[in-house]
Chain A
Amino acid sequence: MGYWNQEYECMPVEQRQELQLERLQSLVKRLYENVPHYQRAFRAISLRPGDVQSLDDLKRLPFTTKDDLRQAYPFGLFATPLKSIVRVHASSGTTGKPTVVGYTKDDVETWSEVMARTLACAGVTSDDIMQIAYGYGLFTGGLGVHYGAEKLGATVVPVSVGNTKRQVMLMEDFGTTVLACTPSYALHLAEVLQESNIDPSRIRLRIGVFGAEPWSYALGREIEQKLGVISIDIFGLSEIIGPGVASECPYNMGLHLFDDHFLPEIIDPDTGEQLPYGQKGELVITTLTKQGFPLLRYRTRDVTVLHPEPCPCGRTHVRMSRIMGRTDDMLIIRGVNVFPSQIETALLELGQVEPHYLLVVDRKGNLDTIEIWVEVSEKVFKDEVRHLEKLEKTMQREIEGILGIGVKVKLVEPKTIERSQGKAKRIVDRREVYKEG
């Protein structure tokens, strides 16, 4: 079993706990001294940095939420001067503005380290030719995996997402052995490959490193069969660092969470109370080592279970189950985070339609599709087809501009979208991505 950093990956648990406490204490001090938001939050509960004496004190510390990030837009939660920030990434936020994250040189180094561990954990070595088909750019997927793969010493093909025919050509001509992308894109690639005239013996793929969206084991098996790979689930989120937070190994015992850098907890999402190992709840992560954009007890809204028992691979990191759901209404579509509130904002800004809408998410031929059903009010109804089609196009453009992915807007009759008592039903997701089996 290839480790990247055996000392830390296989460290005895007690020794790691000492390291975690030391790093937590230093983090709390840094946050108190450098980030006004945290200073206020600590003062509100009369907590001084010195009060953190054990890992058990973690549960006394305040949470950080996506809303805190939004209010701090763009750089309000950075803990170092902008001068020392060498990179920013951004992901879509709950409203029009994205969530911005920043990295110092050391952070980029940490990110490369955990990403190299992730790839080594997946079985990738410096002999591999690795095609990275995650999006490059503000999205953390492409560049995050890229730095880790270079650090590991693999031969990197930074092709980014899209242009599937070219991907298949490169795969054949370069003899790509590792594919990194979203699982739904992997399936799409597999089908394009099958439809091509390429002799299967010329495809040398052996490992698929898949992440950025939830996927079922059934989908994994289908990809494995079609591409001839073993499929590895990797987990990360841009707020924490990007990809590189946790990774499966070929033993298939859940994801090894690199808890010397990211301290995980499971909480009850309603009460905020910490839950013991083995219980299902919301994953909360504290970034122990990040400098530029450290977060204390960040509520990921992802639902999972943590397992303390070591894995046969020898790693002693705590393991997490594949993500089982969300505690909010966020959707992940083609690897992109989508919040219904973003769409609502776009529709309301146009000011032409009623705020009655329904998001219908489906998977057609392996690619996620999103349809936005909007009720046609008398206010906007004109008896000309071109007028209504123009209205559809305008809404479509507006929403695409905010989400960064293609959508389809469909006009429907008034009162046909269900009015529920209390919380509105805004989403129909037909993909069953969290289904086991």
Chain B
Amino acid sequence: MWVKQISVFLENKSGRLAAVTRILGNEGINIRALSIADTSDFGILRLIVDDPAKAYSKLKEGGITVSETEVIAVEIPDTPGGLASVLDILDAGGANIEYLYAFVSKSSGNALVLMKVEDLDKAAAALKANNIPVPGAEQVYNI
């Protein structure tokens, strides 16, 4: 049920991001959301795509260093204070967030926040107890 995120190691040199996205494009894989964490030497590209299993194997075939990570998706009303209230809940529930990124869903108009947390079950339980919607993986891939 967790959302599978594809993470890619990128060296800091021109053309690398283009190379990765071209592989996905050629295979008809659609990118739903992405974020990049970067340092002076390298970056990590994080992707949510419509077919993570295929993306993983095609990138690997293309000689790219890739890994699969499970993240949790949280639907938040696209209003001021929306994210803060969710973070408060996770904080109170003792769920430690490694990183997060967000995008706005075309269909619902709500913000969708993707979070990498230490303990997925714990985070999900805290959110559910507070009636915050946690969309399933398929739902996120097909937004």
Contacts and interface: CB of A to CB of B under 8 A. Distances in A.
22 contacts: A376-B9, A376-B42, A377-B65, A378-B67, A381-B9, A381-B65, A381-B66, A381-B67, A382-B67, A383-B69, A383-B116, A384-B116, A385-B44, A388-B44, A392-B41, A410-B41, A411-B41, A411-B42, A413-B16, A414-B63, A414-B65, A416-B11
Interface residues of B, number: 22
A413 B64 contact: yes
B11 A413 contact: yes
Interface residues of A, number: 18
A388 B7 CA distance: 13
Contacts of A388: 9, 39, 42, 44
Interface string A401-412: 000000000111
B44 A383 contact: yes
A415 interface: yes
Given A381-B67, A383-B5, A416-B11, 4 more contacts: A377-B65, A378-B60, A413-B10, A413-B16
Interface string B47-64: 000000000000010011
B98 A411 contact: no
A376 B116 CA distance: 22
A371 to B, nearest CB: 10
By Cβ-Cβ distance, the 8 closest A-B pairs, closest first, are A383-B7, A413-B11, A383-B69, A381-B65, A385-B37, A376-B9, A410-B41, A412-B11
Interface in B1-60: 5, 7, 9-11, 16, 37, 39, 41-42, 44, 46, 60
Interface in A250-264: none
Contacts of B66: 378, 381
Given A411-B9, A413-B9, A378 B44 contact: no
A385 to B, nearest CB: 5
Contact of A383 (B41, B46, B60): B46
A384 B98 CA distance: 8
A389 B41 CA distance: 10
A414 B8 CA distance: 12
